[in-house]
Amino acid sequence: MFLRPLLGSATSALVASAVPVTLATTAGDAATGNVVTPGSFRGFGFDQCLTPSEKAMTAWLNQSPFLAVGIYISGASRACRLQPNLTPTWVSTQLERGWKLLPITLGPQAPCNPRFPRYGNDPVINNDPGPNGHFGKARTQGYAEAGTAVTTAQHLGIAAGSTLWYDLEAFNQDNNRCRNASLAFLSGWTRGIHALHYVSGVYSSAASGIWALDQARINDPSAYHLPDQIWIARWDGKANTSTTYISNAGWRRARMKQYIGGHNETWGRVTINIDRDFVNLGVPTGGPDSHCGGVNVDFPDYPRVKSGSKAELVKALQCLLREQKVYAGRLNGRYTAATAAAANAWQKAHNLPVRPSFGRSAWMSLVVSGPHPVLKFGSTGPAVQGLQRALNAAIRGTDLPITGVFAELTDQALRTWQIRVGRTASGVANRRIWAALARGTR
């Protein structure tokens, strides 16, 4: 993370069950109304030293595959101490638009890391084992750093229950004293983060900090407060959270991996030098999506509906037309004259051919009615369900499960449709894509 790793390249809900999570209410807290971040999320992210401008974030939201972003909020040893773009308004705006924020602290570093102190007066982790060999001073340092990070997070509006990440840069893990001091510091960090009702995350090189944490988890877990989530720096180019340096049993569904180091990427004509990350934290869910008191509107296919069509499809059509205030008749599953009239009214209002049947293009326009946020791999919620229904209507045989979670199958289906209609296969449903779906383009 802008001090490159030497390699060259359980979840918020779990913590909530053990630590009471309440929104902080100090005078400097701006978190009221902001969602917990990142929460349960599986998708792509990036991190950069300097927080991008709001204009850059908007361009990347609409064009890039990323939905999570690492931001350096505190720490005396971070490279970008000045963050002119990072304000409470910036935070609330990005959260409202759907970005998952990954707040990072880069404070005291391993005492055997020759690159620190960076500025001469920034402290390093205390290397004194103390009379009992528990490195109490390092633990105290970590606890204090957690307090500073939480104070900054509260000021920025990052809600309690969010993950705060500590960046421990790569160090010589063969130096036992240095390694133990670093583990003690991270233990203090986690204890302090928990005491203040946030989730503890640690970023480090797979071969040093992450390896050391995993060894502690396996061999002496009672000696340290271990983080809830880990962020692995392993530049192997593989968009997953695996590495041979640690066991697969540790931090399952509570991992991220920085899999490509610093490089330029351009999206929406905005170029940023970034590291790429793959995030796998928790189990994302689509949330509730009930229609007409429990009428099923989720199908693997949305064929043409007309008189004599399957009752369940007709009933779904009646329900969706009723929600759009076009149909006021009974939900009886029969393609009656009243149903046909409502279907024709919808077709006419949306510049679709007015026919005695309701075809795939008309289904597409109907199922995407409602809010149209930018969606991509990692998005969740009712809008994703609408997108999944539209893709099932657009191309026979798509057969997407209507889950409300934008993952591999939805990404593949969206790209397939984009290619079919002559669009760039971006895997992003932005304003133009929603408009094409609403027109029934297929």
CA distance 325 to 349: 13
Kindly calculate the radius of gyration of the chain based on its CA atoms and give it in whole angstroms. Answer: 25
- For residue 347, being part of any structural domain is answered with yes
Q: What is the pLDDT of residue 7?
A: 30
292 belongs to a structural domain: no
212 and 316 fall within a common domain:
no
Amino acid code (one letter) for 353? P
- What is the Cα–Cα distance from 320 to 265, expressed in whole angstroms? 41
- Residue 281 pairs in a beta bridge with 41, 254
168 falls within a domain:
yes
Length of the chain: 442
* 70 burial via Cβ count (<10 Å: 0-12, 13-18, 19+): buried
What's the total number of domains in the chain? 2
Is residue 422 in a domain? yes
Domain end, chosen from 236, 259, 281, is at 281
- Residues 104, 212, single domain; the answer is yes
Question: 97 and 211: one domain?
Answer: yes
Model confidence, pTM:
0.91
CATH code (residue 52) = 3.20.20.80
Same domain, residue pair 182 and 74: yes
Residues 83 and 168 in one domain: yes
Q: What is the pLDDT along the chain (442 residues), one digit of tens a residue?
A: 644 333 322 333 333 323 333 333 333 456 678 999 999 999 999 999 999 999 999 999 999 999 999 999 999 999 999 999 999 999 999 999 999 999 999 999 999 999 999 999 999 999 999 999 999 999 999 999 999 999 999 999 999 999 999 999 999 999 999 999 999 999 999 999 999 999 999 999 999 999 999 999 999 999 999 999 999 999 999 999 999 999 999 999 999 999 999 999 999 999 999 999 999 999 999 988 899 999 999 999 999 999 999 999 999 999 999 999 999 999 999 999 999 999 999 999 999 999 999 999 999 999 999 999 999 999 999 999 999 999 999 999 999 999 999 999 999 999 999 999 999 999 999 999 999 999 999 9
Of 224, 199, 217, the C-alpha closest to 139 is 224
Instruction: Supply the mean pLDDT for the chain.
Output: 93
Retrieve residue 391's tokens. Answer: 């893709």
User: 324 and 277: one domain?
Assistant: no
Task: Write out the residue range of the structural domain in which residue 337 sits.
Answer: 311-438
Whether residue 125 contacts residue 108, with contact meaning beta carbons closer than 8 Å, is answered with yes
- 353 found inside a domain: yes
Instruction: For residues 273 and 323, state if they share a domain.
Output: no
The predicted-structure confidence for 267-309, as pLDDT tens digits, reads as follows 999 999 999 999 999 999 998 889 999 999 999 999 999 999 9
Instruction: Give the whole-angstrom CA distance, residue 139 versus residue 146.
Output: 11
